[in-house]
Amino acid sequence: MSVLDLARPDIREMQAYSSARMEASGGTVLLNANESARPPSFPGGDGLNRYPDPQPRALVETLAELYGSTPDRVLVTRGSDEAIDLLTRAFCRAGQDGIVISPPTFGMYAVCARIQGAAVVEAPLAADGSLDADTLVAAAGPSTKLVYLCSPNNPTGNLVGLGTIERIATALAGRALLVVDEAYAEFAGTPSATQLIDAHENVAVLRTLSKAWSLAGARVGTLVARAEVIGLLRRIIPPYPLPSPCVDAALAALGYEGRRVQRHHVHEVLNERARMAAALATVPGVREVLPSHANFLAVRFADPAGAYQRLLSAGVVVRDITKYPGLGDALRITIGTGNENDRVLAVLRAGASA
Ligand SMILES: *Cc1c(COP(=O)(O)O)cnc(C)c1O
């Protein structure tokens, strides 16, 4: 039994597309990929005439170290959104297989499943927003291939402990791949599920530079999983997924100075999150501020539509999450700069007294 037994047989048998850049290395006159021999003329254009490395070694090694894993267990993707799509396509046969999600949660799991023609089974979070391990495991049936667990969860901000994640992985062994989405892990400061992969071949972890590393525009995500799973996904990932300017941006962000700034930035978010949670709880019209381990707060309002409109009229855009189950009165507010957060508080306080 291998975790690959869960994957689509046709994908397992497929050969990866072999791109020109993969086939030849070491040459200095590159005439094998129909690139332009001349770089573009604008400043910073050097090297852009060449196709990028499909999985740049320096970035793979840096991300492996950052996430407590090894290079053979790392796949760098265009945002973790792409990793979700690749997992869905590699594991779920259209019209036959499916995924399990715990709503309210991140929307892309279900979107990718629907595009692939995979069924979406829901194991809702408990009324207090916590994840019940037994409910999640029980929802995984014979056709389930992927079980998603988002921690800290978007949009509620709640965290699932590593012990619980491990129990779920054990219960799903041989039945499904447990995909742990840690997009907001840096704001929680808890140990990563990547350390479970040694003992649990059915655990895969999603990470991203989009949130705590300030690089949403560069689209750099990482899947950490067993080498067999990484190898399988490399058969279906597009040949050159990572634009070279994005790779350079990621390496800069992960350098010594970049890491120093990142720690400072995350620290600022945590301080502001605590300040906003306390302040929002005293605003008339706020029913509840959900405890959050991420860089946002889910806030229940007596009049969510009114609060949304007042903020919008003042130029502040927050996320309306009232369509999520159990959050019919809630807005999700990202933690901004101190000044931006003050503006949110001022608008809500003024509106509440009007
Ligand atoms: C933002 C987010 C992502 C997507 O991140 P990208 O790397 O930018 O694609 C994945 N999962 C969750 C839960 C998110 O909130």
**pLDDT, tens digit, 9 for 90 and up, residues 51-91:** 999 999 999 999 999 999 999 999 999 999 999 999 999 99
Structural domains of the chain sorted by starting position, each given as residue range(s) with its CATH number in brackets: 3-19+54-254 (3.40.640.10), 261-353 (3.90.1150.10)
Q: What is the pLDDT of residue 354?
A: 53
The predicted-structure confidence for 240-279, as pLDDT tens digits, reads as follows 999 999 999 999 999 999 999 999 999 999 999 999 999 9
Atom 1, ligand 1: residue with shortest CA distance: 183
Helix axes 227-234, 79-91, angle to 10 degrees: 90
Determine the average pLDDT of the residues in 15-42.
Answer: 84
State both tokens at 217: 């525009």
Confidence of residue 301 (pLDDT cuts 50, 70, 90): very high
Query: In this structure, are residues 171 and 137 in contact, taking their beta carbons and an 8 Å threshold?
Result: yes
- Name the phi and psi angles at 332, rounded to 5: -105, 120
Q: Is 333 helix (H, G, I), strand (E, B) or coil?
A: strand
Mean model confidence pLDDT for the chain:
96
The answer to whether the CB of 181 is under 6 A from ligand 1 is yes
- Name the phi and psi angles at 180, rounded to 5: -100, 115
Q: What is the pLDDT of residue 338?
A: 98
Determine the average pLDDT of the residues in 2-23.
Answer: 86
**pLDDT over 70 percentage in the chain:** 98
Query: In this structure, are residues 187 and 202 in contact, taking their beta carbons and an 8 Å threshold?
Result: no
Q: What is the pLDDT of residue 16?
A: 75
Q: What is the pLDDT of residue 17?
A: 74
The predicted-structure confidence for 93-131, as pLDDT tens digits, reads as follows 999 999 999 999 999 999 999 999 999 999 999 988 899
Atom of ligand 1 nearest to the CA of 209: 7
Atom of ligand 1 nearest to the CA of 106: 13
Contacts with 119 (C-beta within 8 Å, 6 or more apart), sequence order: 97, 98, 99, 113, 143
The answer to whether the CB of 183 is under 6 A from ligand 1 is yes
